[in-house]
A = this chain, B = another copy of it.
Amino acid sequence: MARIVQKYGGTSVGDVERIKKVAERIKGTRDEGNEVVVVVSARAGVTNELIARAKAVCPDPSERELDQLLAIGEQETIALVAMALQGIGADAVSYTGAQAGIFTDKVHTKAKIQGINPKPMEKELKAGRIIIVAGFQGADDEGRITTLGRGGSDLTAIALAAALKADKCEIYTDVDGVYTADPRVVKNAKKIPEISYDEMLELASSGSKVMQSRSVEFAAKYDVVFEVRSSFNHNPGTIVKKEVAYMEKVVVRGVAVDKDQAKVIVSNIVDKPGSAAKVFRALADASVLVDMIVQNVGRHGVANLTFTVPQTDTRKAVKALEPVLAAIGGGQVAVHEHIAKLSVVGVGMKTHSGVAATLFQSLAEAGINIELISTSEIKISVVIDLDRVEEAARVAHAAFHLDQV
């Protein structure tokens, strides 16, 4: 007998029929003799509907009231999933975030989990019941409902797995695992059976949309092993865990593409200490997330700064830069949106040289020009022309023999 936490996203519980299917799967896990705790999201679309209704009564509602409103999305699905289980003869009980003892700070719409009281749930599990917990939500010390922000339901599942010392945590989603590359782009992409937290994090920050970094970080911190798998089939998924010895054999784990970046070039700024700091301070103050940064010192004591930002932030970035350039005495800003970021990720890089050389050479042979390069211990990212990025992904995938893992 194992203790298993499962998480089903909004698409998996999108309507009555899917809720019934999910209930069958949950009951199957219980019938194998396991203790089962299930985390569910709101039905797909419900959160957006509720936000639209809120905006219709008030253009700028308080975040406390938004949380109070949004929390009903999951409260609906927990009750319906528990009922669907009862309908097929399983003993199930639903818990809101507050009822599950998920305590958070008071930062509405993006609260952080402070602790979980596992006692009431331990009692239910002992009594043989399946527990259905609302993802994405908790309550502060005054009993006010908070929500955890994007990716919150995954976080709930991983935090519950840690608090309940679960043997397994299964994140059910609409993809059936983490692939060596996006299978829609690279036809012979392979599902990765096991991946380390670090690699998963680098893939998440490189445009692979399987999970938010935050949940992976939490899992790494509390050493929660979890599996990403599909609720629409029974294929094994990808197991995410701490680095293990054999992982080092694989140098590159996967290739990720991010098309939502823009390149910003600040040229001809005076090359003196503090100029770059002023530029990036201004961007930080405007909450612009800057990713890759490259600085070239040009002739005549002027420098060029190039960096990437999310496309949605480019206007904000340009607006934030104008007063800075005036203050530091000149410089021009240019934005290139027709670019994409390609990253290769793998913990094996730490101990293998030549990864960068292999990547650059393969792209050069394909005639693909590299505009920017940045590296971390386990990742190499390049910015290239948007029109060539899918081809580049296939080239890199082949260069590292990822179809053979």
Give the distance to chain B from A244, nearest Cβ to Cβ, in Å: 41
B58 engages A16 (CB within 8 Å): no
Which of B20, B82, B99 has a CB less than 8 Å from the CB of A65? B82
A68 engages B57 (CB within 8 Å): no
A16 engages B80 (CB within 8 Å): no
A61 engages B75 (CB within 8 Å): no
B98 engages A84 (CB within 8 Å): no
A83 engages B99 (CB within 8 Å): no
Cβ of A327 within 8 Å of any chain B Cβ, yes or no, is no
Cβ of A78 within 8 Å of any chain B Cβ, yes or no, is yes
A72-B72, A72-B76, A98-B143 as given contacts; A87 in contact with B19, CB under 8 Å? no
Give the distance to chain B from A94, nearest Cβ to Cβ, in Å: 5
Report how many copies the assembly holds: 2
Give the distance to chain B from A3, nearest Cβ to Cβ, in Å: 22
A86 engages B58 (CB within 8 Å): yes
Chain B residue numbers with a CB within 8 Å of A84 are: 57-58
Interface string of A135-150 (1 = CB under 8 A from B): 0000000111100000
Cβ of A69 within 8 Å of any chain B Cβ, yes or no, is yes
Q: Complex formed: what's the CA distance from A228 to B76 in Å?
A: 33
Cβ of A71 within 8 Å of any chain B Cβ, yes or no, is yes
**Interface SS of chain A:** helix
Interface string of A44-57 (1 = CB under 8 A from B): 00000010011011
A57-B20, A72-B75 as given contacts; A120 in contact with B94, CB under 8 Å? no
Q: Complex formed: what's the CA distance from A94 to B87 in Å?
A: 34
Cβ of A62 within 8 Å of any chain B Cβ, yes or no, is yes
Cβ of A59 within 8 Å of any chain B Cβ, yes or no, is yes
Q: Which residue of B lies closest to A88 (CB)?
A: B58
Which of B19, B69, B94 has a CB less than 8 Å from the CB of A80? B69
Cβ of A64 within 8 Å of any chain B Cβ, yes or no, is yes
Supply 17 further A-B pairs (C-beta < 8 A) apart from A16-B57, A60-B86.
A16-B56, A19-B57, A50-B76, A57-B83, A57-B84, A58-B84, A58-B86, A59-B87, A61-B87, A62-B82, A65-B86, A65-B94, A68-B78, A68-B79, A68-B82, A99-B143, A99-B144
| Chain A to chain B contacts (Cβ below 8 Å), 29 pairs | A16-B56, A19-B57, A23-B57, A50-B76, A53-B76, A54-B80, A57-B84, A57-B87, A58-B83, A58-B84, A58-B86, A58-B87, A59-B87, A61-B82, A61-B86, A61-B87, A62-B83, A62-B86, A65-B86, A65-B93, A66-B83, A68-B79, A68-B94, A69-B80, A69-B83, A72-B76, A75-B75, A99-B143, A99-B144
